Structure 1
């Protein structure tokens, strides 16, 4: 197994020393879910590179969105973003620095959808929110002087799952996507992948976390055969150019690889970008781990080239 980046290892050791629990520890109660959300928000604030500007919060659509304008506009594409956090964590302003960085690095207006969270709002409500927020953003493209016909999608973790579903929905409506960025996506609720076992303990996201957040999102829904949950199992032909980024020490690594391979097999311009020494969550580690900051910068440069 590849060793973790030294700064990642130091960060994980610091959290272990102070007794940080697993991300989804205690989420079998309402109080535990609230505590996990607070804990996740605090960890992001501790490790992310801060943003210089606050977003414009819009709540006049079907779902609140947070609009991030870049310091310098370099494209008229509209980027719609969905945050990570296992469909349970990460709402509100937690992801503002991450979405703001995406806007500044790409020179694009980024509309971040503040979708409702599980378990209060289980599948398919978060997906419906992303689809609704996307449609609303396209309808309001003139508000930010962007081209409603040049839509791009981006998300990490659970957000990557949601925007992959949105990309399929647009494809089915014969609406193009100029580029999609999926960072450590969970694209398959049905498969079993070796990386869940190999990286299931000691690397921020645990195998237990994967099970816990899936249960919180699904509730009583049966994932088998539902491509809204498992976009890897859909007909992927006709999707736009897609960047799939993985972390080498992530339980979701192999599922992300499998998704990139399935996209390529379907004739999609798919680019797999692997980061062997990083862990799940690295888009939020940009202020604490130089290698994570460099990885995010490289992914954003490639995404910017797709949507320019």
Structure 2
């Protein structure tokens, strides 16, 4: 197995030494879910590069949104973003630094959809929230002098799953987005992938975490045959250019690879960008892992080019 980046290894060792539990440890009770959310928010504050500005928080949309304006506006594109956290963690202000970085690097306004979290709101509520937030953002693009014909989608982890579904919905309405950025996505609830076994322990996201968050999101729903859960199994033809970023030491690595391959087979301009020495969650490690910061900068540059192509 490839060795982790030295700064990633040091971060993981620090968390191990102080006894940090797995991300979804104890989430079988409401109290455990609340504790996991607090732990996750604290870890992100410890590792992410601080935000350059605060968002405008709007509660009058169909779903709460957080509007991030770039420090320097260089694009009239509009980006709709969905955060990670296994559909369970990461709501509110937790991902503000990540979304603001996306706005600053692309020069575009970013509307971060603060979708409802599981297990209080299970599938398909978070997906519906992202779709509603996207529709609202398109209707209000003029409020930010953005071009609704130049909308891009971005998401990481669970958020990447949700925006992949939103990209399919826009394609079905014959209005595909101009570009999509999916960072370590979980695109398939039905497949079995070797990377879950290979990278399932000691690398931040564990195999047990993958199972736990999936159960919290699904509840009693079956994933079989539902492309809203598994966009990899949808007809992918007609989607806009898509960047799929994976981490080499991530349980989700092989599913991300498979999604990029399926997109390419469907004739989509798909760009697989694998970061061999990084782990799941590197989008939030930009303050302490230079290799993660460089990876994010490169992904954002490529995404910005799609928005203006």
Query: TM-score scaled by structure 2?
Result: 0.99
1:259 is paired with a residue of what secondary structure? helix
Give the corresponding residue for 2:29.
Answer: 29
Query: TM-score scaled by structure 1?
Result: 1.00
Give the corresponding residue for 1:254.
Answer: 254
Give the corresponding residue for 1:138.
Answer: 138
| Unpaired segments ≥5 residues, structure 1 | none
Structure 2 CA distance, aligned partners of 1:59 and 1:150? 24
1:50 is paired with a residue of what secondary structure? coil
How much has 1:166 moved relative to structure 2?
0.1
Give the corresponding residue for 2:270.
Answer: 270
Give the corresponding residue for 2:228.
Answer: 228
Structure 2 CA distance, aligned partners of 1:252 and 1:168? 21
Structure 2 CA distance, aligned partners of 1:47 and 1:61? 31
Give the corresponding residue for 2:38.
Answer: 38
Question: RMSD in angstroms over aligned alpha carbons?
Answer: 0.4
Q: How does 1:1-308 map to 2 (within 5 A)?
A: 1-308=1-308
Contact 1:149 1:176 (C-alpha < 8 Å) held by counterparts: no
Structure 2 CA distance, aligned partners of 1:71 and 1:53? 8
How much has 1:291 moved relative to structure 2?
0.2
Q: Deviations over 1:168-189 (max 9, x none)?
A: 0000010120000000000000
Structure 1 CA distance, aligned partners of 2:13 and 2:52? 29
Structure 2 CA distance, aligned partners of 1:171 and 1:272? 21
Structure 1 CA distance, aligned partners of 2:141 and 2:57? 15
How much has 1:12 moved relative to structure 2?
0.1
Structure 2 CA distance, aligned partners of 1:17 and 1:291? 23
Q: Deviations over 1:24-63 (max 9, x none)?
A: 0000000000000000000000000001200000111110
Structure 1 CA distance, aligned partners of 2:176 and 2:164? 13
Contact 1:285 1:292 (C-alpha < 8 Å) held by counterparts: yes
How much has 1:73 moved relative to structure 2?
1.1
Q: Deviations over 1:245-290 (max 9, x none)?
A: 0000000000000000000000000000000000000000000100
1:175 is paired with a residue of what secondary structure? coil
Structure 2 CA distance, aligned partners of 1:305 and 1:142? 22
Structure 1 CA distance, aligned partners of 2:11 and 2:302? 27
Contact 2:52 2:71 (C-alpha < 8 Å) held by counterparts: no
Q: Deviations over 1:214-250 (max 9, x none)?
A: 0000001000000000000000000000000000000
